[in-house]
Amino acid sequence: MAKDVRAKAILSSYVLLGLVMLLVLDLGFRLADNAFHITNPLDSPNRSLIWWTVNGFANEHTAPDIALLGSSLMMTAHHAGDATKLNKVQSEVSHFHSACLQDFLSEKTGQKPTTFSFAIAGQMASDSYLIARSLLVGPKQPKVIIYGIAPRDLIDNTLPSAASTETFKYLSRIGDLSDVALSARTSFNELFQFGLEKVIYTLSRRPNLLAWQHKIAYTLAPYGQNAITKNELCAPFELRKIAYSEMPDDSGSNELKIAPYGSEFEPFRDNTAEYRQRYAHIKQKTYKSQLSYLEKLMKLAKERGIQLVVVNMPLTPGNVALMPAGFYSEFKNKVGAMAAANDAAFLDLNKPNAFEQKHFADTVHLNGLGGVAFFRLLSSELALNHSVSTALTTTH
Amino acid sequence: MLFNSLTYALFLPIVVALYWASPIKLRVPILLIASYIFYMSWRPAFILLIIGLTTVNYFFGFKIHKSEKNKKPWLFAAVATNLLTLSFFKYAYFLNDVLVSALKPIGMAPPAMPFDIILPLGISFFVFEFIHYVVDVYRGSEPIKSFLAFSLFASFFPTQIAGPIKRFQDFIPQFLSPAKFSIKDLDSGVSLILLGLFKKVLLADNLAFFVQGGFQHPELFNSLDLWIFTYAFAFQIYFDFSGYTDIARGSAMLFGYKVPINFNLPYLAKNIAEFWHRWHISLSTWLRDYLFIPLGGSRGSRWNVYRNLMITMSLGGLWHGASMHFLIWGVFHGAMLGLHRIFKEGRTWLADRGHGWLSAAIDSKVGTVLSMLFTFHVVCIGWVLFRADTLTIAGDMLRKLFFIDSIAGNAPALAMALPAINYPLIYPAIFLLLPVLALSHIIMGYVDKTKWVESSPRLVKAAWCCALMLMILVFSPDKSPKFIYFQF
């Protein structure tokens, strides 16, 4: 009897009824979305670099011969190099073809390959693996992947987990990443959030709902039109700085431009202090986990018949000297051995005297001059590599 | 452990379940342990402070009560202990800075602070509760016999960090005759928590980002822009603090406890005195009972009353933070309260002489709306002093707000920089959002006041909760800043 009364009392709860309503609405949304594809997985409330890249790649009609992967080390070499070679300002959010690589390879081999760059600032090995796995597949599969890497792309000590990057979050909406979903998350909060998204469908479609909210708000807001029609973001530099530190990665089509080398005065930026900090606290757990993603990338390429070329990116000697003793050579040995075991090529372009101080914008990033030099050297090495030449001449 | 964190979302249901599943005798100890765990989740060592102060004040309460003739020295000792503790943690740096600037011109300087002082969370709130306790015992209230109940009074986790400042006469009886489990309380508690989260994460946090831009870089904006930033901060602080209070009250309700309200439509106040009856009510009544009245209150000469108002509000300002801009914010409110008193006296003086037109005009509908608008703007000017990081920024903003730059010909009066900014979204959206928020202030107040949710049919209440849950799930920003009042 008492149990009946208690059960009745609990059932009279309007909060409980509200929760049931929420679950019913959620189920309805799940069924409707599955049946009518209401949400577009590519939609995002913010124009992150991965958003620009994925949308840019979606507009490509054919697969590129060569796909470039890597962090800002590869990204700046690509953009600054092309800006210098073409003598034209390049946009980091919409310039995807590497003119340097195409032209220099053409000079060396007589064949001009098509290219597409997926290099994005902050890209970790886990992100590169996910890009290859989700995007470089089927009719869009390239013949060669060139992956530019340096120790910092495996040891970011501010990275909470592989799943915390914008690339991972965005790509997990496009493809099924359930096999790495748990191992990529390390904290209880991340795992709980992931579990909640599995239960509540609406939560997993939150970016789509936020994108709709943004579209509606920008349509209604009297001064937001350019943000929809042209993807242009207009805000004073001081406000952009606050947004960069507090909000998700977001870049307008009118931002992130790279000028040709020499057209503007660009003093060498000494970021030694930043890298001393980065290398001082190497998280072995992150390092090991990122190495395992690198290995996964190599196996994936082998499995799909894509020739993978891992490129050790140029760094200034001063930067290398900041690493713990023996770390750099151990890193190169590890990556080299891993590449050999998985039929991938390993090119060490951080050769003594190949790059001088004038080629660097800071201790790790190449400037326009360095970008051109890098792609010239890379093309020479690729032309000499039999596996790459063979891969490029085969038809899909 | 923040109220808007996942940790709290897990902690609260566990404690609620444990509380109701336990025998009545164990419930107060369970709540006390939970409250201490809650406090230790920030910096475990500070638990010693809260336990130490609890023990000392419990002892003082009995000493004051038992002493027939020597009550005053014991009261003095108790208040001094609490104030010295608060001053050490909160004002040591400030006093050191004041001393440095005073001694520097004569070539002397006090030694630098030999150690770092970290402000314990919630200290301003629980110290005020202790002072209220010892003063009321001095005034004749019975001291709390149960040490357990007294400990929980001071450390009760829903109100531990930012109030509302409780009165033991209202709170302790609730421990002694614990409420029975009620679905109604549980429902009301959860819906209050949802409403609080909605105010905090959806409204205050989004506004915080907008406000930050204007208050950090007033040089980028013109007079009209800065008025918009100021209005936005007025709503941000209201939604932040009242959201926090709703979560605190809702959490307490889940255990069957009632905690006093802290807000009552503050921006609909018709004058500044009324504003203080509607804003942070538990603090303003504390200041009235334990500072303004002991100073003499409204008795004595006119100048004494103005002096009492000024002292009370200045110390109230300093209570918010050891910084000049808080002190000046308090002085500003003291001055406004004084001016309001003069105006009120003038109005009565005129009415007594047969000139009731002023009273009639003010009491008319148009007069009431204009009074509300005027009071809101006075409060907003105060918020500039409160929010600006430095007095220089506050000065720059106020100069522009009063069009002084425009009058001097340095800036076009009506030109605005905001419309040209389309990113982040909150910038173009603010023009739509502010009128909605102004309206929502009235609507939410109405909902609170008429208990609209509670008196609605079950289905409507369920839909209301469902809508709140959905909006919180979907539209919460990725990062949620701390509650503003956590720093005090």
H/E/C letters for each residue in chain A? CHHHHHHHHHHCCHHHHHHHHHHHHHHHHHHHHHHHCCCCCCCCCCCCHHHHHHHHHHCCCCCCCEEEEECHHHHHHHHHHHHHHHCCCEECCCCCCCHHHHHHHHHHHCCCCCEEECCCCCCCHHHHHHHHHHHCCHHHCCCEEEEEECHHHCCCCCCCCHHHCHHHHHHHHHCCCHHHHCCCCCCHHHHHHHHHHHHCHHHHCHHHHHHHHHHHHHHHCCCCHHHHHCCCCCCCHHHHHHHHHHCCCCCCCCCCEECCCCCCCCCCECCHHHHHHHHHCCCHHHHHHHHHHHHHHHHHHHHHCCEEEEEECCCCHHHHHCCCCCHHHHHHHHHHHHHHHCCCEEEECCCCCCCCHHHECECCCECHHHHHHHHHHHHHHHHHCHHHHHHHHCCC
Q: Are strands A90-91 and A257-258 parallel, antiparallel or unpaired?
A: antiparallel
Express each pLDDT in A198-211 by its tens digit: 899 999 899 999 99
Assess contact for A361 and A71: CB atoms under 8 A. Answer: no
**Model pLDDT, residue B322:** 83
- The answer for B 186-205 residues in CB contact with A (under 8 A) is 186-187, 190-191
CATH of the domain at A271: 3.40.50.1110
- The answer for B 233-272 residues in CB contact with A (under 8 A) is none
**Model pLDDT, residue A395:** 66
Q: Which residues of B are catalytic?
A: 320
Closest CA to B262 of B333, B192, B176, B181: B192
CA neighbours closer than 13 Å in the CB half-sphere of residue B330: 23
**Model pLDDT, residue B210:** 92
Cis peptide bond upstream of A314, omega within 30? no
Assess contact for B434 and B414: CB atoms under 8 A. Answer: no
Question: Which of B220, B431, B458 faces A17 most closely, judged by CB atoms?
Answer: B458
Assess contact for A178 and A133: CB atoms under 8 A. Answer: no
Question: CA angle, B456 as apex, B455 and B460 as ends, to 5°?
Answer: 150
Residue with tokens 């959905």: B470
Give the residue-averaged pLDDT of B54-67. Answer: 94
Closest CA to A64 of A100, A96, A92: A96
**Model pLDDT, residue B488:** 57
Closest CA to A155 of A306, A40, A322: A322
CA-CA distance, B405 to B190, in Å (whole number)?
A: 49
Burial of B324 (0-12, 13-18, 19+ CB in 10 A): middle
Question: Which of B183, B459, B462 faces A9 most closely, judged by CB atoms?
Answer: B183
Overall domain count for chain A = 2
pLDDT at B485 over 70: no
Give the residue-averaged pLDDT of B59-69. Answer: 90
Please indicate whether, in this complex, the C-beta atoms of B463 and A220 are within 8 angstroms of each other: no
CA-CA distance, A245 to B174, in Å (whole number)?
A: 46
Together in a domain, A108 and A144: yes
Please indicate whether, in this complex, the C-beta atoms of A213 and B475 are within 8 angstroms of each other: yes
Residue with tokens 């920008």: A218
- Stronger pLDDT, A318 or B405, i.e. the higher one: A318
Q: Which residue range is the domain that position A260 belongs to?
A: 49-187+241-393
Together in a domain, A15 and A74: no
Please indicate whether, in this complex, the C-beta atoms of B217 and A239 are within 8 angstroms of each other: yes
Question: Which of A200, A221, A243 faces B429 most closely, judged by CB atoms?
Answer: A221
Together in a domain, A267 and A388: yes
Establish if A206 belongs to a structural domain. no
CA-CA distance, B462 to A18, in Å (whole number)?
A: 4
B120 CB near a chain A CB, below 8 Å?
no
Give residue B289's pLDDT band: very low, low, confident or very high (50, 70, 90).
Answer: very high
Please indicate whether, in this complex, the C-beta atoms of B465 and A221 are within 8 angstroms of each other: no
Establish if A82 belongs to a structural domain. yes
Would you list the domain boundaries of chain B? 6-178, 185-487
CA-CA distance, A96 to A140, in Å (whole number)?
A: 15
Burial of B294 (0-12, 13-18, 19+ CB in 10 A): exposed
Together in a domain, A245 and A132: yes
Question: Which of A21, A222, A243 faces B431 most closely, judged by CB atoms?
Answer: A222
Assess contact for B235 and B437: CB atoms under 8 A. Answer: yes
Task: Of A1-10, B149-158, B371-380, give the lowest mean pLDDT range.
Answer: A1-10
Express each pLDDT in A349-377 by its tens digit: 998 889 999 999 999 999 999 999 999 99
Give the residue-averaged pLDDT of B244-250. Answer: 94
Together in a domain, A30 and A84: no
Q: Determine which of A6, A10, A13, A14 to mutate to test the interface with B (most B C-beta atoms within 10 Å).
A: A14
Express each pLDDT in A257-270 by its tens digit: 999 998 887 889 99
Task: Of A9-13, A222-226, B216-220, give the lowest mean pLDDT range.
Answer: A222-226
- Per-chain mean pLDDT for chain A: 90
Closest CA to A254 of A239, A232, A238, A226: A232
Together in a domain, A74 and A22: no
CA-CA distance, B461 to B469, in Å (whole number)?
A: 12
- The answer for B 445-464 residues in CB contact with A (under 8 A) is 458-459, 461-464
Together in a domain, A25 and A164: no
CA neighbours closer than 13 Å in the CB half-sphere of residue B452: 9
- DSSP lists the bridge partners of residue A148 as A70, A311
A252 CB near a chain B CB, below 8 Å?
yes
Q: Which value, to the nearest 10 degrees, does the dihedral of the CA atoms of residues B344, B349, B354, B356 take?
A: -10
Establish if A41 belongs to a structural domain. no
Establish if A104 belongs to a structural domain. yes
- Per-chain mean pLDDT for chain B: 89
- DSSP lists the bridge partners of residue A90 as A258
CA-CA distance, A79 to A375, in Å (whole number)?
A: 11
Give the residue-averaged pLDDT of B405-425. Answer: 78
pLDDT over 70 percentage in chain B = 95
- Stronger pLDDT, B407 or A342, i.e. the higher one: A342
Assess contact for A339 and A145: CB atoms under 8 A. Answer: no
Helix (H, G, I), strand (E, B) or coil at B258: coil
**Model pLDDT, residue A2:** 61
Give the residue-averaged pLDDT of A233-240. Answer: 89
What's CA B327's distance to the chain center, in Å? 16
CA-CA distance, B312 to B291, in Å (whole number)?
A: 6
B416 CB near a chain A CB, below 8 Å?
no
pLDDT at A221 over 70: yes
Together in a domain, A29 and A129: no
CA-CA distance, A36 to A357, in Å (whole number)?
A: 57
**Model pLDDT, residue A7:** 74
Residues of chain A in contact with residue B474, where contact means CB-CB under 8 angstroms, are 202-203, 206, 209-210
Give residue B362's pLDDT band: very low, low, confident or very high (50, 70, 90).
Answer: confident
Closest CA to A86 of A256, A263, A232: A263
**Model pLDDT, residue A179:** 80
Together in a domain, A274 and A335: yes
Task: Of A163-167, A277-281, B165-169, B358-362, give the lowest mean pLDDT range.
Answer: B358-362
Residues of chain A in contact with residue B478, where contact means CB-CB under 8 angstroms, are 248
Give residue B451's pLDDT band: very low, low, confident or very high (50, 70, 90).
Answer: confident
Gap from A163 CA to chain B (nearest CA, Å): 15
What the block records as the tokens of A302 is: 């082998």
A202 CB near a chain B CB, below 8 Å?
yes
Give residue B18's pLDDT band: very low, low, confident or very high (50, 70, 90).
Answer: very high
Residue with tokens 């005053």: B72
Establish if A359 belongs to a structural domain. yes
Other Cβ atoms within 10 Å of A266 Cβ, number: 13
Establish if A22 belongs to a structural domain. yes
**Model pLDDT, residue B447:** 73
Give the residue-averaged pLDDT of B122-149. Answer: 93
What the block records as the tokens of A111 is: 């064949």
Give residue A309's pLDDT band: very low, low, confident or very high (50, 70, 90).
Answer: very high
Please indicate whether, in this complex, the C-beta atoms of B187 and A202 are within 8 angstroms of each other: no
Together in a domain, A247 and A298: yes
Q: From edge to edge, which strands make up the β-sheet containing A115-117?
A: A115-117, A66-70, A144-149, A307-312, A345-348
- Stronger pLDDT, A302 or A2, i.e. the higher one: A302
pLDDT at A346 over 90: yes
Please indicate whether, in this complex, the C-beta atoms of B422 and A236 are within 8 angstroms of each other: no
Together in a domain, A22 and A58: no
Helices B183-197, B223-253: inter-axial angle, 10-degree rounding: 160
Give the residue-averaged pLDDT of B33-55. Answer: 93
Together in a domain, A141 and A20: no
pLDDT at B306 over 90: yes
